[in-house]
Amino acid sequence: MAPDMKIYSMLLIIGGLLIFSDTNGQSRRLERAERAYAAGEYYEAVDLFRDAYTAVNDRELRTELVYRIAKCYMKLSEARLAENWFRRAINRNYDNPEVYWYYGEALKMNEKYEEAIEQFRIFSELMPGDPRGETGIKSSELAIYWMENPTPYEIAEVNFFNSRESDYSPAFANDDYTLVYFTSARKGDGNSRHGATGEYFANIYESRKDRQGVWSTPVPLSGINSEFDEGTPSLTPDYREMFFTSCKAVRRRNNGCQIYQVTRSGNDWGRPEAINLAPDTLIAAHPAISPDGLTLYFVSDMPGGVGGKDIWKVTRSSINGPWGTPVNMGSGINTPGDEVFPYVHPDGSLYFSSNGHPGMGGLDIFRAVMRDDGEWSVHNLGYPINSPADDFGIVFEKEAERGYFSSNRGRRGDDNIFSFYMPPLYFNVDGTVNDLDTGEKLPGSTVQMVGSDGSILNVSTGENGEFRFMLRPGVDYVFLASREGYLTDKAGVTTRGLDRSRDFTVSIDIQSYASPIEVTDIFYDFARWDLRPESMVALDRLVEVLNDNPHITIELASHTDSRGGAEFNMELSQMRAQSVVEYLIENGIASDRLVAAGYGKSRPRVVDQRMAGVYPFLPEGTILTEEFIESLPNEEQRETAHQINRRTEFEVLTTDYE
C-alpha cells in the first residue's frame, strides 16, 4: 500500500496490553510494539509483536499477539500473511467477533471469495446489527460476477514508470500527455526508510515521452520534495498550479499530513505553501482539483466525517481567492470504511477508491455522478481495473477512455502504475425484410436507418432481402422498411450504454395491402359498439401504422357474424367502425384519412392459408357463410367460425395523401 496512504491510516489502539506483563523485558517489548502500531509504523510493529510472541508463554497473551500481528499485515496489505495469522487467531478461539470479518477481508484480497462469504456469514450471526457482514457477502458475490464478466478495458503494467519500490498516483502535467508526475518510494538522495512500510520516503517524480514514444528515466521533481513524504500530485487544467500531499513523520509520533499548493513560474515551480485544512496532527491528503480550479477535494480524518478516512471538499470563488471551510462529501460518497485518492474527470465526474463500498477486495476504484435529484450514483469500475488487491490513484486523458492507475496486484505486492485503455467499440446490424403473411424474403425493399444523433441512411435489400448497417456508440436507431404495395414497418436497436462491441440482428416483417388487413384484438360488449379497454393496445398499434405510413388513407370496416337480423347487424357494425375512427382521430390521425364502413354480416370471411394452418377444420378458400358454419360437426368449431367473421379490418384506399 502507498506510504502516504498508510500514514493517514494511523489509528490509536483502544486500551493497552495491560495483561501482557510477565516480565519487565516483555512489558517493554510490548510497549514498543504498541507505540509503533499507534504511530502507524506497522512495518516495525509487526516485527516487535512477532518478537514478543516468541518470548512469552501465556496462551491468552499469545492469542492476542497473533491477532495483532494479523492486523499489522492487513495494514501493510500483506493479504496472504494476514490470512494465515487471522486463521491462527480463530483456531486459538480468539473471542473478538471482528476476527471473522478481518479474516473474510483477507480471503477476499486473496481471491478466495467463496471462503470469504462463509466468514462474513459467521460474523453476521455473531454481530447481527453490524452491516459489514452483509456488505462483505454482497462484495464477494459481486466480485465473482465481475471476474466472470470483465469490462473491455485492456490493462498493462507500465515498466518505464515502475521501480522495485512503490510507484503510484500518476498525474498528467501537460496537455499532450507526454509529461507525467507520479509518486515513488524508490531510493533517492536520502537513505531514510519509513517505519510504516519499510520503504524509502516517497517523492514526486517526473518522466517525459519523446517524439519516438520513449519515456525518459524518472527523476525527482525539482523544488518540491523534502526529506519526508511527498506525493499524490494534482494539477489544474492549464497545468500552472499543482497540489500535493506532504507528510512529516517523526519517529513514534504522528505529525499528520498537509496539502500544499504551488504555482508554476516559467518552467519552474515556485515555493510550495501549505493550505490550512486540518489541525497538524490530523490528515489532509490526496488533493484533487476540479476542472474549473475552484473546488479542491481531499481526504481527511478530521471530526465530522462518516467514518474512517473521508473525502471532503473546499471551494474558492476565484483562482487567486482564499479557500473556504471544508465540507464533508456525505454518506453518498463516504462510508464507515476509507474513501481515498479522489480524482475529478474533465467531464466533472468524481473517481475515488474505497474499501467501504462493495468491492473486490482491498481498495476498489469507483465513479460517482451527481443525479438530477442531488444524490450521488456510485459505480464500481469492475474487473480488470479493479482486482482483489488495492486499486487506486486513477487519471484519464481528457477525451479518451485511456490513462493510468495504481495497484499492488502481482507477486511482489508493491504499488505499481498500470495503463488502461478502452478499445474502440464496433456495432453492426444485419437484418432482413420479409412478407408478413408468407415469410418470403423481399429483395429491392428500401430500408432507412434513422439515428438519434441525426444520422439518416438508405439502402436497398439484396436478393435475399438482407441489409446491413454500421452503428455508432451511444445512439438509438430505427430501421424503416418500405416497398411498393406494402405498409412501412420498423424495428429498433440501441447502442446506448453498451461497453462491449456487438452485432445486432433484426427482422422486419411488412404487410401487403393488396387485400384488407384485419385489426386483431378489437373487443366490444355483446350488442354494443363501445370499445373495451383491452382494445386500446391494438388501436394504438394502428395509430403507429398510420404514422409510419403518412401518405395512405384507409377504410375502417366492421363485420358481424351471421346471427341476428341484417338491419341490426348493419347498424351495429357501422357504429363499431365509427368508434374506431373516433379513437384514431382522438390520437392525432387526420379525419380525412379515415372512412368508417359497417358491413354487418354481408361479407363473410374467406379462409386464407394462414387461417387454415391455425384451424385445420377450415379448408383454405372456404367462405364462412351461415350455411357452411351450421354444417360444422360441433359447437366449438361453429363458435370459432362465428368469431372469425366478427372482425375489424382496414383497406388502403389511396397512397398519395398530402
Q: What pLDDT digit, counting tens, does each position of 535-568 carry? A: 888 899 999 999 999 999 999 999 988 888 889 9
What's the pLDDT band for 21 if we cut at 50, 70, 90?
A: very low
Inform me whether the pLDDT recorded for 195 exceeds 90: no
Mean pLDDT on 292-307: 94
Percent of the chain scored above 90 by pLDDT?
A: 72
pLDDT, residue 647, reads 86
Inform me whether the pLDDT recorded for 14 exceeds 50: no
Mean pLDDT on 293-312: 94
What's the pLDDT band for 590 if we cut at 50, 70, 90?
A: very high
Inform me whether the pLDDT recorded for 416 exceeds 90: yes
pLDDT, residue 28, reads 77
Percent of the chain scored above 70 by pLDDT?
A: 93
pLDDT, residue 534, reads 76
pLDDT, residue 267, reads 84
Cα 467 from Cα 429, distance rounded (Å): 8
What's the pLDDT band for 187 if we cut at 50, 70, 90?
A: confident
Mean pLDDT on 491-501: 92
pLDDT, residue 2, reads 47
Cα 317 from Cα 323, distance rounded (Å): 8
* Segment (H or E) for 322: none
H helix intervals, 127-206:
132-148
Inform me whether the pLDDT recorded for 652 exceeds 80: yes
pTM over 0.85: no
Neighbouring CB atoms inside 10 A of 614's CB total 10
For the chain, list the domains and their CATH numbers.
Answer: 3-148 (1.25.40.10), 154-421 (2.120.10.30), 427-510 (2.60.40.1120), 517-654 (3.30.1330.60)
Q: Per mean pLDDT, which range of 24-38, 307-321, 329-343 is the poorest?
A: 24-38
pLDDT, residue 26, reads 65
First vs last C-alpha separation in the chain: 72
Q: Of 32-41, 49-58, 429-438, 634-643, give the range with the top mean pLDDT.
A: 429-438
96 Cβ neighbours under 8 A, 6+ residues apart: 67
Average pLDDT taken over every residue of the chain: 90
DSSP type of residue 107:
H
Inform me whether the pLDDT recorded for 19 exceeds 60: no
Do the beta carbons of residue 343 and residue 394 sit within 8 Å?
yes
| Phi, psi (rounded to 5 degrees) for 373 | -85, 5
pLDDT, residue 27, reads 73
More confident call, 523 vs 630? 630
User: Would you call 80 helix, strand, or coil by DSSP?
Assistant: helix
CA dihedral defined by 562, 564, 570, 574, rounded to 10 degrees?
A: -90
By DSSP bridging, strand 402-407 and strand 416-421 are antiparallel
C-alpha cell at 246: 506532504
Mean pLDDT on 111-126: 97
pLDDT, residue 227, reads 85
**Measuring CA to CA, which residue among 539, 554, 545 is closest to residue 586?**
539
What's the pLDDT band for 381 if we cut at 50, 70, 90?
A: very high
Neighbouring CB atoms inside 10 A of 472's CB total 14
Cα 39 from Cα 386, distance rounded (Å): 30
Do the beta carbons of residue 381 and residue 209 sit within 8 Å?
no
pLDDT tens digit string along 212-252? Answer: 999 999 999 998 998 889 999 999 999 999 999 998 765 54
Inform me whether the pLDDT recorded for 298 exceeds 80: yes
Inform me whether the pLDDT recorded for 6 exceeds 60: no
pLDDT, residue 16, reads 38
More confident call, 220 vs 26? 220
pLDDT tens digit string along 508-541? Answer: 999 999 888 888 867 666 667 877 787 888 899 9
C-alpha cell at 586: 382522438
Q: Per mean pLDDT, which range of 10-19, 104-113, 378-387 is the poorest?
A: 10-19
User: Would you call 318 helix, strand, or coil by DSSP?
Assistant: coil
Cα 208 from Cα 365, distance rounded (Å): 26
pLDDT tens digit string along 421-479? Answer: 999 999 999 999 999 988 999 999 999 999 999 999 999 999 999 999 999 999 999 99
pLDDT, residue 500, reads 87
pLDDT, residue 556, reads 92
Q: Which residue in the block uniquely carries the three cell numbers 416483417?
A: 509
pLDDT, residue 5, reads 41
What's the pLDDT band for 10 if we cut at 50, 70, 90?
A: very low
